[in-house]
Amino acid sequence: MARILVGEPHPDLRRLLETIVRRVGHEPVSSPELNGDAPDLIIVEPASAYHVAEASRLRERFRNLPIICTSILPPGDEARALEPSVYLIKPFRLSELQRAITFSLPHVA
C-alpha cells in the first residue's frame, strides 16, 4: 500500500481524489501525516501555488518521487517543472486516475 499525498485546494475534489486513492488500495495522506518522510506519490493541482511549492520541495528532497498533475488547464511552466509522470485534464474519468496511479507506482503492490 502506497501513501499518496493529495494536493487539491478544493475540498470536494480532494475528498473525491482521496476516495479514488482508497479504491485502488492506497492511503491518502496530508503533509503533517508524513512527519518528514516521503510519500510514495503526489497528486497535485498545478493551479495551486501552495501545493506546487509543496510538491517542488518534496521533489527536491526525494528526486524519484512520482507526481500526477490534475488540472482544467493544459500544462504550464510550473507543471512542466514538476516533471509529472502523468498529466490529467479535468474532467477526466475516474478510471483514468486509477490507471495513472497504477502507472506511476509500478513498484508498489
- pLDDT tens digit sequence for 43-57: 999 999 999 999 999
CATH node for 3-102 = 3.40.50.2300
Q: What is the pLDDT of residue 31?
A: 84
**Helix and strand totals (H; E) in the chain:** 5, 5
Indicate whether 36 pLDDT > 90.
Answer: no
Domain coordinates of the chain in residue numbers?
Answer: 3-102
Residue corresponding to grid cell 501552495:
50
